[in-house]
Amino acid sequence: MATDPICPLCDRPIPAGVPASRHHLVPRLKGGKGGETVLLHHICHRQIHATLTEAELARSHASIEALRQHPRIAAFVAWVARRPPGFTSRVPGPRRRR
């Protein structure tokens, strides 16, 4: 019996058929091509990129622990943790300024 992978950001299972995507801990455009990736719920992945720029990700948020420390992502994780594993939605809140 195979178990569902666990999203390292929100610690919820990623059931088969639920949108998921790979996140480069260091963005590809900032030297992370071929680097470490993690499988996340698609909603979790979108929240990361809605919150932080590629430069911010490369400079100071290149680990799951560092991402969880960011106030907006921490609030998102607390919110999404109360949702079922298959929950999908638009990413709440305004996008980051570019």
pTM of the predicted model as reported, rounded to 2 decimal places: 0.85
Q: Which residue intervals of 1-98 are DSSP H helices? A: 42-51, 54-60, 64-69, 71-80
**Measured between alpha carbons, how far is 3 from 87 in angstroms, rounded to an integer?**
18
Residue 94 confidence (pLDDT) above 70: no
From the list 25, 68, 20, the residue with the least C-alpha distance to 40 is 20
Look at residue 86 in the predicted model and tell me its pLDDT: 85
Q: What is the pLDDT of residue 44?
A: 95
Joined together, the tokens standing for residue 12 give 């919820």
Q: Are 7 and 23 in contact (CB under 8 A)?
A: no
pLDDT recorded at residue 92? 54
What is the structure's pLDDT at 82?
94
Residue 95: band (very low, low, confident or very high) from pLDDT cuts 50, 70, 90: low
Q: Is 2 left (phi over 0), alpha (psi -120 to 50) or beta?
A: beta
Q: pLDDT digits over 33-89, tens only?
A: 888 899 999 999 999 999 999 999 999 999 999 999 999 999 999 999 999 888 888
